[in-house]
Amino acid sequence: MFSLFAKFRSDEHGAVTVDWVVLTAVVASIAGIAFVSIGAGVEQVSTSTKTYVNNAAETIGELQDSVFQ
């Protein structure tokens, strides 16, 4: 029984596969966390940019109206 356990412990067939599976899972997890973190920030910047552009467009429209009247 102990010799079977010792043989199992020393056998490294498939060890590289397990390493790659674990490494891939870690990379996928980090990518998911980064995606969620960045997504919230991008939404906030997008809203701020939209507000800025809308205000600039209104200001330009008011300037054009006052110049061409």
The full set of domain ranges for the chain reads 15-67
Longest dimension (CA), the chain: 99
User: How far is the C-alpha of 47 from the C-alpha of 50, rounded, in Å?
Assistant: 5
Distance CA 18, CA 22 (A): 6
pLDDT for position 8: 65
Q: Is the dihedral of CA 18, 23, 24, 26 positive or negative?
A: positive
- Scan for tokens 């061409």, then name that residue: 68
- Higher pLDDT: 67 or 41? It is 41
Q: Is the pTM of this model over 0.85?
A: no
* pLDDT band at residue 19 using 50, 70 and 90 as cut-offs: confident
